């Protein structure tokens, strides 16, 4: 009596390779970036509506307090945290989980959140460049670039050439542009030179009809006011740049943490404290809405 051995499967075993840690899924990344851009646009529009801003070319902005500057910068940071946190959460929540359980799940989710943050920034820069290009595009009615005066000190130039008996047909665009470029030197270490000051006095005399001490007094006041306006505009630009850099750096961290929270919510893992409180609130609301069962 012979015993037959069972057939042996000689097919080579196929090893399932774990997904690469640097592999990205672009659908959740694009969804997170669009979410971050949309939320950021809404919050910035709201801030512009209520009057929050870090810099402005309007003359009334020079009377703004330092508290308003700081409040505007803090709001810029907060809106970045909210928008990039939402974008990172969407990127982590929408990302499809891998077949194999890996210890690097949170790191993968965080990388998707940071990539969504980077894509949202690129979209924002492209949109801002398109808007700036459309605003600065020369048209048939716009003045040439050589006769354009500095917008920061437009009010000071208006006050410099103010006259009750000006000739209606006089073209002051070249003179205003030249005076504006001279007034810009008031913020330098040496200030306006003696020759430039004398030239401004002659220009004011020829344009407004003022002579002697009146013309010199107006020029001196314009130089002082221009120096103050440029100093305010420079301070606003510094605060704006610092606020943007801080908001972007904190936004990257927030996008990483938001993506990790979205991944934990997707996988049914223990959630953060604020997410647990939110889920508890929704459960209580559902229990309040659910009708009580009738006794049999």
Quote the pLDDT of residue 290: 46
89 and 216 in a single domain? The answer is no
Q: Please, which residues have CB within 8 angstroms of residue 199's CB and are 6 or more apart in sequence? A: 182
Mean pLDDT of the 67-75 span: 80
Task: Round to whole Å and give the CA distance between 80 and 83.
Answer: 5
| Across 45-54, 126-135, 151-160, 238-247, least confident range | 45-54
User: pLDDT-derived band of residue 249, with 50, 70 and 90 as boundaries?
Assistant: very high
Q: What is the pLDDT of residue 146?
A: 47
206 against 104, higher pLDDT: 206
Q: What is the DSSP track for 43-88?
A: HHHHHHHHT--S---SGGGGG--HHHHHHHHHHHHHHHHHHHHHHH
Tell me the per-residue pLDDT of 95-117, one tens digit each, with 9 for 90 and over.
887 655 555 778 888 898 999 99
* 15 pLDDT more than 50: no
Note the pTM of the prediction, 2 decimals. 0.68
> Is residue 226 located within the same domain as residue 247?
no
User: How confident is the model over 243-258, as a mean pLDDT?
Assistant: 91
Structural domain of residue 153, as residue ranges? Answer: 147-230
Q: Are residues 117 and 170 in the same domain?
A: no
| Same structural domain, 128 and 48 | yes
Is residue 31 domain-shared with residue 128, that is, in the same domain?
Answer: yes
**Burial per residue of 120-145, b for 16 or more beta-carbon CB atoms within 10 angstroms, e otherwise:** bbebbeeeeeeeeeeeeeeeeeeeee
Give the model's pLDDT for residue 84. Answer: 94
Residues 96 and 169 in one domain: no
Any domain includes 31: yes
Strands (E), the chain: none
Instruction: Note whether 116 and 177 are same-domain residues.
Output: no
Mean pLDDT, rounded, for 261-276: 73
Is residue 296 one of the residues assigned to a domain? Answer: no
Q: Is 91 in the same domain as 69?
A: yes
What is the per-residue pLDDT for 16? 43
DSSP 8-state code for residue 212: T
Same domain, 33 and 126: yes
- Mark which of 181, 199, 230 sits at the end of a domain: 230
Helix (H, G, I), strand (E, B) or coil at 104: coil
The three-class DSSP label of residue 11 is coil
In a domain, 89, yes or no: yes
Higher-scoring residue by pLDDT: 20, 50: 50
- Residue 39 in tokens: 């939320």
114 shares a domain with 37: yes
Residue 4 lies in a domain: no
Say if 278 falls within a structural domain: no
Q: What is the band of 153 on the pLDDT scale with cuts at 50, 70, 90?
A: confident
Is position 277 within any domain? no
Q: Does residue 231 surpass a pLDDT of 80?
A: yes
Query: Of 23-27, 77-81, 161-165, where does mean pLDDT reach its minimum?
Result: 161-165
Q: Domains in the chain: how many in total?
A: 2
Q: Is residue 280 part of a domain?
A: no
Nearest to 203 by CA among 222, 229, 226, 186: 222
Kindly state whether residues 224 and 246 are assigned to the same domain. no
Residues 76, 155, single domain; the answer is: no
């Amino acid at each position: 009596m012979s015993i037959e051995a069972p057939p042996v499967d000689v097919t080579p075993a196929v090893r399932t390779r774990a997904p690469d840690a640097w592999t990205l899924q672009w659908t959740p990344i694009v969804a997170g970036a669009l979410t971050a851009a949309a939320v950021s646009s809404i919050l910035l529009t709201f801030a512009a509506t209520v009057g929050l801003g870090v810099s402005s070319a309007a003359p009334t902005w020079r009377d703004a307090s330092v508290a308003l500057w700081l409040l505007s910068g803090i709001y810029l940071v907060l809106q970045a945290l909210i928008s990039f946190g939402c974008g990172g959460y969407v990127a982590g929540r929408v990302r499809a989980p891998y077949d194999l359980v890996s210890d690097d799940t949170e790191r993968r989710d965080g990388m998707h959140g940071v990539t969504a943050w980077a894509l949202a920034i690129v979209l924002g820069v492209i949109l801002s460049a398109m808007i700036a290009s459309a605003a600065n595009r020369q048209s048939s009615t716009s003045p040439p670039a050589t006769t354009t005066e500095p917008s920061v000190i437009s009010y000071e130039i208006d006050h410099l050439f103010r006259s009750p008996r000006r000739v209606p047909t006089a073209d002051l665009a070249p003179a205003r542009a030249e005076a504006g470029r001279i007034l810009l030197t008031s913020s330098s270490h040496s200030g306006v030179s003696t020759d430039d000051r004398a030239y401004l006095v002659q220009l004011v005399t020829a344009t407004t009809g003022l002579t002697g001490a009146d013309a010199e007094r107006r020029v001196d006041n314009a130089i002082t006011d221009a120096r103050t306006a440029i100093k305010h505009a420079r301070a606003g630009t510094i605060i704006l740049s610092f606020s943007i850099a801080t908001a972007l750096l904190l936004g990257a961290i927030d996008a990483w943490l938001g993506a990790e929270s979205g991944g934990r919510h997707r996988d049914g893992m223990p959630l953060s404290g604020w997410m647990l409180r939110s889920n508890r609130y929704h459960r209580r609301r559902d229990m309040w809405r659910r009708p009580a069962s009738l006794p049999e």
